[in-house]
Structure 1
């Protein structure tokens, strides 16, 4: 991993763009982070829309986490943003959009083709990024994961022992196979569900929450669409990470 740019934001948060191989990412650290006082880390998940498009929302989440004393980091997902094109993923995305536009029920094959290969590729990349991030002297543990794609968060919670808690966004399609993996999740969970999310199957989200094997899990369900998350829901998520990572 090498840093390619850096800037100090107006609230004192230190933002650094980095890359390893062809994978770009961003690291945000609070003023309090130092070699003598390393801070916990939260990995910021996001939908496969590209870092450039998602930057305003990611930076806002990072600033809030920095105010609570956390470093945050994110990476570009496979086949998105400025990364090399991934024809199979683009075809799967096109098939999904075609079914949605036609009002057709989404069959398992369409959902699996869109989500499962992304999970298989993205999770090892997240783990490689985590190796590099935890080698920085100003960053220590524990580590949390926040956001989506929810199936990526599920897989990371199962296979990555360095992740101590996860806040997941119930806003993406979940293959049936991920329900089996959800039963293996044991770390503390905080799941955010927008009740009227036009792109989310509410009942499937509730069934997935029920499937999680974590002894401690909470569901924050709020009225509104995908982008209508109330401020207090973000405050609840912040308190969750403060409770489990500090």
Structure 2
């Protein structure tokens, strides 16, 4: 892991850009000298690690005492995409705007993204846990629910997870949801135009976790109330500290 830049932000959080091979990422760490629990934070499929909403969540969580990291996985953010990926994204946008069925297009796009992303996130996790000031246990938080499901099943170091939305998740991860057993916080925007509500509720019901909590709020996809960040940190405190 090679750090390429760093800056101390006005909330005391240290923000560092890094690369791990071809993987670009960002790490935010608190001022505390004690080893901080690690939170892997992702955004919706393909959005860049510099997305303002992700950065705001990461800085808030780091200021609360966590090391927070995100990456642009293969095909995401500014990393190269194949012609097939670009075509699938264009087809998906067109179908959603036209109100046409999108399941098969979604499967062809998100399924491979998850398969390619998981090894890179696990390699990043290995490298992060070798850094001074970062320790376990590890949490996952993010809007890329399909990735989070696969990581929660495949990665035993993840002790708790927070998922957003979940209306569109590939069939493979819907089946895997039954294998997710870590404590879970699931956020749902009741009027999310891009995530069918009933599918999200069915996914929540499918999770195998004995401790799982659903927070539903009125509003569209980007309208998650700010107080959910506070509740999210309390959830992490219960399971990672």
State whether TM-score is above 0.5.
Answer: yes
Deviations 1:72-124, CA, capped at 9 Å, x for gaps: 000012223331222222122112112112211223x2121011101000111
- Please name the residue that 1:44 is paired with: 41
Secondary structure at 2:179 match in 1: coil
In the alignment, the residues of structure 2 paired with residue 235 and residue 127 of structure 1 have an alpha-carbon distance, to the nearest angstrom, of: 27
In the alignment, the residues of structure 2 paired with residue 236 and residue 184 of structure 1 have an alpha-carbon distance, to the nearest angstrom, of: 25
- The 3 A distance-change label for structure 1 pair 243 and 73 is same
Aligned-pair distance for 1:29? Answer: 0.2
Task: State whether residues 164 and 188 of structure 2, in contact with CA within 8 Å, keep that contact through their aligned partners in structure 1.
Answer: yes
- Please name the residue that 1:143 is paired with: 138
Deviations 1:24-74, CA, capped at 9 Å, x for gaps: 100000000x3xx2110101110212223x1x2222112211232111000
In the alignment, the residues of structure 2 paired with residue 82 and residue 181 of structure 1 have an alpha-carbon distance, to the nearest angstrom, of: 29
In the alignment, the residues of structure 1 paired with residue 226 and residue 94 of structure 2 have an alpha-carbon distance, to the nearest angstrom, of: 34
The question of 1:218 aligning with 2:213 is answered: yes
Aligned-pair distance for 1:147? Answer: 0.6
**Superposed structure 1 runs of 4+ greater than 3 Å apart:** none
- Please name the residue that 1:98 is paired with: 94
In the alignment, the residues of structure 1 paired with residue 239 and residue 220 of structure 2 have an alpha-carbon distance, to the nearest angstrom, of: 28
TM-score by length of 1: 0.94
Matched ranges for 1:127-166 at <5 A: 127-166=122-161
- Please name the residue that 2:27 is paired with: 27
- Please name the residue that 1:3 is paired with: 3
Secondary structure at 1:51 match in 2: coil
Q: Tell me, which stretches of 5 or more residues in structure 1 are unaligned?
A: none
Task: State whether residues 149 and 176 of structure 2, in contact with CA within 8 Å, keep that contact through their aligned partners in structure 1.
Answer: yes
Task: State whether residues 170 and 194 of structure 1, in contact with CA within 8 Å, keep that contact through their aligned partners in structure 2.
Answer: yes
Aligned-pair distance for 1:237? Answer: 1.2
Alignment counterpart, residue 75 of structure 2, candidates 73, 79, 83: 79
